[in-house]
Structure 1
Amino acid sequence: MSPIDLLVNLLLGLALGTVGGLFGIGGGLIAIPALGVLFGLDQQLAQGTALVMVVPNVLLALWRYNQRNRIEPKYALLLAGSGIVCAWLASLYAVELQAERMRLAFVVFLVALALYNLARLFMRTPPVSQELRHPWPWLGVVGGAAGALGGMFGVGGAVLAVPVLTNVFGAGQLMAQGLSLALALPSTSVTLLTYALHGHVDWVMGIPLAVGGLLSITWGVKLAHALPEKVLRGLFCGFLVLCAVLLALE
Structure 2
Amino acid sequence: MSTLILALAAGAVIGLALGALGGGGSVLAVPAMIYLLGFTPVAATTASLVIVAVTSVTAMCAHARDGNVRWRTGLLFAAAGIGPAMLGGALAGRVPPAVLTAAFSVVAAVAALRMLRSRPPADTPAPVRPGRAAAAGAGLGAVTGVLGVGGGFLAVPALVSVLGLRMRNAVGTSLLVITVNSLAALTMRAGTADGLDWAVLGPFAGAAILGAWDGKRLAAKVSGHTLQWIFGLVLLAVAAVMLIDAAM
53-62 or 101-110, larger mean C-alpha shift: 101-110
Distance 1:131 1:104 in 2: 35
Aligned in 2, Cα 1:166/1:229: closer, same or farther, shift over 3 Å? closer
Deviations 1:40-64 (A, max 9, x none): 3221111111122101111112212
Q: 2:186 matched to 1:192? A: yes
> Structure 1: which amino acid aligns with 2:88?
A
233-242 or 97-106, larger mean C-alpha shift: 233-242
TM-score, normalising length from structure 2? 0.81
Q: Which residue of 1 aligns with 2:158?
A: 164
User: Tell me, which stretches of 5 or more residues in structure 1 are unaligned?
Assistant: none
Aligned in 2, Cα 1:133/1:213: closer, same or farther, shift over 3 Å? closer
Distance 1:148 1:8 in 2: 30
Q: Count matched residues.
A: 243
Q: Which residue of 2 aligns with 1:219?
A: 214
TM-score, normalising length from structure 1? 0.81
Distance 1:51 1:137 in 2: 27
User: Tell me, which stretches of 5 or more residues in structure 2 are unaligned?
Assistant: none
Q: 1:194: how far off?
A: 2.2
Deviations 1:220-239 (A, max 9, x none): 44456458447624642453
Distance 1:242 1:59 in 2: 29
Distance 1:43 1:178 in 2: 28
Q: 2:122 matched to 1:127? A: yes
Q: Which residue of 1 aligns with 2:138?
A: 144
> Structure 1: which amino acid aligns with 2:213?
T
Q: 1:8: how far off?
A: 4.1
Distance 2:228 2:71 in 1: 32
Aligned in 2, Cα 1:47/1:237: closer, same or farther, shift over 3 Å? closer
Conserved? CA contact 1:71–1:178, under 8 Å:
yes
> Structure 1: which amino acid aligns with 2:47?
T
Conserved? CA contact 2:22–2:152, under 8 Å:
no
Superposed CA RMSD in Å reads 2.9
Conserved? CA contact 2:24–2:153, under 8 Å:
no
